[in-house]
Amino acid sequence: MEQTINNDNPSEKLNDDEVIDLFIDGLMEEKGTAAPTAEVHQDIHDNLKNQLLTEIDRSIIAELPDDKLEELTRAAASEGELSPEVVAKAVEASNINVTEITGVTMQRFRDLYLNNANQQKTEE
């Protein structure tokens, strides 16, 4: 999932991590998140990013076909934990649309985060 930084220089691309960072920054701005210090702001950002990445991982795993889930379960049982490479291989072999799943998950995360912010504002 690479995105163009700007239309003036389309050869300059963002990597997945940068896209997620920009997305989280946008959410925080849209919600009006005001942190007393840069350190607290970064902590909030990091927490949101970790939550989003966890949700993306869960969404991708949920879309895997049963046979790939069984493979991952067997690998986890024999190795004690799953390496990112083993999971990536299973995802790639399953031919699921990771970009679409990620986009839908990010939109759902945004809606939940901002809806929650709107509920807090109306309660005040």
- Tell me the pLDDT tens digit for each residue of 7-24: 455 556 778 899 999 999
Per the structure, the count of domains in the chain is 1
Q: How far apart are CA 91 and CA 64, in angstroms?
A: 7
Which parts of the chain register pLDDT below 70? 1-12, 117-124
What is the span of the domain harbouring residue 88?
3-123
Predicted TM-score (pTM) of the model is: 0.78
Return phi, psi of residue 79, to 5°.
-100, -10
Q: How far is C-alpha 40 from the chain's CA centre?
A: 21
